[in-house]
Structure 1
Amino acid sequence: MFQIIWIVIVGAILGFLAKLLLPGRQAIPIWLTVLCGMVGALLGNYISSVIGVRHTSGIDWIRHLLQVVGALVVVAAGSALYPQARSRN
């Protein structure tokens, strides 16, 4: 149970950080920001495990950087796709 709460907290932090770093305004709701942050964290973890830097001694700076980059990509994609999905209804 605590792991799910931790995933949501990290997703929120990464999602809002990505919204701050992206230029312009991202008109996506809070729930989508958190979801995009969660997906970005998973994407960063996957890439770090593929290149072999997921588990290192000390703080995993490369993994965290890849998580932020993953969140940037997913939030940008989510903000680009969200108005189109809303206009179809």
Structure 2
Amino acid sequence: MVYQRLFKQDENLNLSTHTTCRLGRWYLAPETQARYGDNRDFQQLNEPHRIVHETAHKALHAAQEKNWSQVLLEINDMESASLDVSALLDNLSH
């Protein structure tokens, strides 16, 4: 969604947070906490997930200001954190 908004230069800055998106709701669900709460990969998931949302939000704001170098920095950080999230989720699935 962030890429679509950047590409279209969409002025909508509303994004879900790391606690209101589907992954965040799953992460915070009591059933999920009971099942994975003691798992180290699960415990490490929150921070990179938060960073994905934070940097996406910053990228959209930078785009509104036409600060393209800042957009690229934020997207780079978002992608890095997203890879961390994917790796942690992959570990949980095994």
TM-score by length of 2: 0.36
Bigger radius of gyration, 1 or 2? 2
